[in-house]
Amino acid sequence: MPIIVDEVVISVEVGNSEAGGSSVAGAGTASAEDKQALVEECVARVLEILREREEP
């Protein structure tokens, strides 16, 4: 069964201490495994939201 996405909302918080913004501890030191884990978690949450919207 195909999935039709009507709306996707993506929220991103970016800190840049050089430009005067706030920074998250360890934001610049994330390893490749950490980044992959973050991407996997985001994908899982998006799929969960899509499944919830599909339920009657």
Residues of the chain with pLDDT under 70: 15-29, 56
Delimit the domains of the chain by residue range: 1-56
Nearest to 49 by CA among 15, 2, 13, 6: 6
* CA–CA gap between residue 34 and residue 1 (Å, rounded): 33
Predicted TM-score (pTM) of this structure: 0.45
Residue in this structure with the two tokens 């918080």, named with its chain if needed: 13
For position 33, what pLDDT does the model report? Answer: 85
Per DSSP, the residues of 5-54 read: -S----------GGGT----TTGGG--HHHHHHHHHHHHHHHHHHHHHHH
pLDDT in tens, 38-52: 888 998 999 999 888
For position 19, what pLDDT does the model report? Answer: 58
Residues 6+ apart with CB under 8 A from 38: 30
